[in-house]
Structure 1
Amino acid sequence: MDTQISKHNFATRLLLNIGHALDHMMLLIFATAVVSITSEFGLQSWEDLMPYSVGAFFFFGLGSIPSGRLGDLWGRRPMMILFFFSLGVASILVGFSNSPWQLAFALALLGCAASIYHPVGIPMLVEGETRPGWAIGVNGLAGNLGLAAAAVVTGFFVKFFDWRAAFIVPGIISIACGIAFTLLSPKNQLSPAKKKSTASGSRHGLSMTKLLIIMTIAATSASMVFNFSVNSNYELLSSRINNIFQDPAVLGAMLALVYVIASFTQLLVGKLLDRFPLKRLYQSIVALQFVALIAAATSDGWVFYILQVAFMAAIFGAIPFTDAMIVRFVDDSMRSRVTGMRLAVAFGGSSLAVWLIGPIVKTAGFTSLLTLMAATTIMTLIVVSQLPNTSHARSL
């Protein structure tokens, strides 16, 4: 997969991609382990515990602003070192929680640590890339394999150990990655803000304000669909095939397979981004989301499982576009800050989706949730239509 020329050595690129996998994995462990945690904490149902995880996703978004600013001004390498260590420590703290509010606090810290990656790690990865679409696609695949790992690893630990191990073991792995990144990544890197501005980042007549508004609204609606799906997929799958499988480990493995298959969409999208106009591709992927979600809303059994693969492939396939827009329209000297501002609003706003899952499912069921997700994709389509038409190019 590693076919492009890059300014980073192999170890740095590998660890940056592993970092993306860990970032998504840590945030989704809770959603898979929520039933086990609910039982231990003495709550009546998993829907009652879901609101305690909102802080993780809220601070995941809000923390992107200082993370992006520090990434540009202080440097991306030291911020990535901080990312690996803080993510590991926060995950271990979640594993030692003994009440819902302790859990909420630890998850909020986890969200703060996880907020570093996207505004720092991805701009660092695409520095000097001649094929940024492919680099973003590979990185997106890594992130979504992290989602798959969250499902299967958590299912394994819950069945054979307990939910605490599902947080503590990955936390230790993250700290080990931090040590490796400190030792292996080049140290003589200028902060992006001190570098000479390049010719990349053409906005095609759009003001930075309008561009930021378009990217933020599109990212917010897309993130809401993403959060609705990944935070409810385990219980959704369980409810739609409960007459076929009920074992947590089997369900975790099935969901992991969904994520693995769907994740490879990002490689295809990444390759296409280097060859075809961004706007047209983005619209096509979002339209596929709408069709698959509407069909899934009234399906169950194996038909639902196939449709779950389809709508998750389309949801994952849309992820590279937000980063591709940054690379296409924003100069490298300020990409982390722009990414941070965009993510703060998008992820902060979309954290509402995590809070809404429990109440929506409890009162209206999963069919209503899937229908709401389909309606949200229409908002994304409308906003994306405001992007300028651009010709395809190696630089996006």
Structure 2
Amino acid sequence: MSQARTIINYINAAHILDHMFMLIFPAAVLGMTQSFNLSYAEMIGLSLGGFIAFGACSLPAGWLGDKWNRRYMMQLFFFGIGASAILTGLSSTVPTLVIGLTLIGVFAAIYHPVGTAMLVAHAKNRGHEIGVNGMWGNLGVAFSALLTGLLSAHFGWRAAFLVPGAIAILIGLMFALQVRREAPVVATQQAPRGVGGQRISMPLVFGVLALVTATGGVIFNASTVTYPKLFQMRLDELLASPQTLGLVVSLAYAFGAVAQLIMGRLLDRFSLKYPFVLLTLCQGPLLVALAYVEGWPVIVLGAAFMFAVFGQVTVNDAMVANFVAPQWQSRVFALRYFVSFGASAAAIPLIAYIEPRQGLTGLYLVLAVFGGLTFLAALAFPRTAAPEIRPAAT
């Protein structure tokens, strides 16, 4: 196996862990309220520091990835997030729990600016590799609900943090042994052109990216955090056990992996604009439907919405990969995820404020407004030519 493929495999594994660790708590919290004598809304609020750190720490992580060493940063990711999860699983007081959750966010922030830049640098077909990588990240979201449900049901909520924490540290050791160096990145790339060869307005491109990153961050985080609660409420009689709930929620998340594989292939062949517009067009109506439906349709609509949300994530990453020179990509990915996860942190107080007053119905209607803004931004995005396929780094 080539060095480039080995690196990409570990980057994909890291993407699984990154999203899984950030969503263990929202799935485990349903069984933690009695341990800490707090309500669901109060418990969810404890994760705010982690989600803020997930966004804020991406900026220094991206800068260190470009200026110091991306390989060392990924080692720090594996060891740090694993140790933080173990600390969270051992927590017996609210302050210790908050510290553990916050540290998970700090180390999770390393992955997207550093790992995504490494992926793009070593990929042959960037759109395809971004799609595959996104699929693994999406499966990490799915595994969070499934694995947390299984571990919580059989061993208690602490195991939902302790077992994945130990696995992350083990993968980190393997990464350190198998990836001992990384080839330097190419310092230049040709800027994409619009259809017909005309110049593209870069302020427009990055303005659209900033807006959809912010609105998409709120939608993504609020929906993925509340999916376990939504499914539990709307399918109460059908989902009697934590493992059944975890399985159903995981299947809804996993459906988004299909979108990312499809988007990855499409983005190597067509303009970004078409899938971008189509995916954002679907989000608002699906959120309105999720606000009101009951029973099995929740699963179908929930899976369809995950398709649209995760497909858009692939499009957003492709924007940076196609428009930013390699030597700047860690920092620009860091800025993108700083905006995204900074905005997504706002979803936590949004949930804590709206859910006790208007329920999840009110929350999803508010998210539908954000979905409408995302669609309007997609309409303004310029139509570009398909990116050229380039050789993989070795």
TM over 0.5: yes
User: Which residue of structure 1 lines up, in the alignment, with residue 33 of structure 2?
Assistant: 38
User: Which residue of structure 2 lines up, in the alignment, with residue 143 of structure 1?
Assistant: 137
Compare 299-308 and 22-31 and name the one that shifted more.
Answer: 299-308
After superposition, the Cα gap between the structure-2 partners of 1:353 and 1:171, relative to the gap in structure 1 and judged at 3 Å, is same
- How far did residue 208 of structure 1 move? 5.3
Tell me whether 1:198 sits opposite 2:162 in the alignment.
no
Tell me whether 1:173 sits opposite 2:167 in the alignment.
yes
User: Which residue of structure 2 lines up, in the alignment, with residue 298 of structure 1?
Assistant: 292
After superposition, the Cα gap between the structure-2 partners of 1:201 and 1:68, relative to the gap in structure 1 and judged at 3 Å, is farther
Tell me whether 1:367 sits opposite 2:379 in the alignment.
no
Q: 2:352 aligns with which of 351, 358, 362?
A: 358
After superposition, the Cα gap between the structure-2 partners of 1:181 and 1:95, relative to the gap in structure 1 and judged at 3 Å, is same
Whether the aligned pair in 2 keeps the contact of 1:49 and 1:100 (CA below 8 Å) is no
**1:7-26: per-residue Cα shift (whole Å, max 9, x none)?**
74333221110100000000
Measured in 1, the distance between the counterparts of 2:5 and 2:330 equals 22
Measured in 1, the distance between the counterparts of 2:386 and 2:206 equals 21
User: Which residue of structure 1 lines up, in the alignment, with residue 304 of structure 2?
Assistant: 310
Whether the aligned pair in 1 keeps the contact of 2:280 and 2:378 (CA below 8 Å) is no
Whether the aligned pair in 1 keeps the contact of 2:74 and 2:110 (CA below 8 Å) is yes
Measured in 2, the distance between the counterparts of 1:139 and 1:188 equals 19
Tell me whether 1:217 sits opposite 2:211 in the alignment.
yes
After superposition, the Cα gap between the structure-2 partners of 1:133 and 1:188, relative to the gap in structure 1 and judged at 3 Å, is closer
User: Which residue of structure 2 lines up, in the alignment, with residue 15 of structure 1?
Assistant: 10
Tell me whether 1:344 sits opposite 2:335 in the alignment.
no
Question: What is the RMSD of the two structures over their aligned residues, measured on CA atoms?
Answer: 1.9
- Consecutive unaligned residues of structure 1, counting only runs of 5 or more, are 1-5
Whether the aligned pair in 1 keeps the contact of 2:187 and 2:326 (CA below 8 Å) is no
User: Which residue of structure 1 lines up, in the alignment, with residue 220 of structure 2?
Assistant: 226
| Identity fraction in percent | 36
Measured in 2, the distance between the counterparts of 1:144 and 1:256 equals 10
Query: Letter of the aligned partner of 2:188 in structure 1?
Result: S
**1:150-194: per-residue Cα shift (whole Å, max 9, x none)?**
10110011111111111111111111111111111241533x4xx
**1:214-262: per-residue Cα shift (whole Å, max 9, x none)?**
3222111111110011100000000011132221111111111111223
Whether the aligned pair in 2 keeps the contact of 1:201 and 1:327 (CA below 8 Å) is no
- How far did residue 147 of structure 1 move? 0.9
- Consecutive unaligned residues of structure 2, counting only runs of 5 or more, are none
Q: 1:102 aligns with which of 82, 87, 96?
A: 96
Whether the aligned pair in 1 keeps the contact of 2:71 and 2:182 (CA below 8 Å) is no
Query: Letter of the aligned partner of 2:31 in structure 1?
Result: S
Whether the aligned pair in 2 keeps the contact of 1:51 and 1:354 (CA below 8 Å) is yes
Measured in 1, the distance between the counterparts of 2:389 and 2:318 equals 9
- How far did residue 211 of structure 1 move? 3.8
User: Which residue of structure 1 lines up, in the alignment, with residue 115 of structure 2?
Assistant: 121
- How far did residue 136 of structure 1 move? 0.5
Could you state the TM-score of these two structures normalised by the residue count of structure 2?
0.93
Whether the aligned pair in 2 keeps the contact of 1:61 and 1:345 (CA below 8 Å) is yes
Q: 1:238 aligns with which of 232, 250, 255?
A: 232
Task: Look up the SS of the partner of 1:365 in the other structure.
Answer: helix
Measured in 2, the distance between the counterparts of 1:308 and 1:206 equals 36
Compare 172-181 and 208-217 and name the one that shifted more.
Answer: 208-217
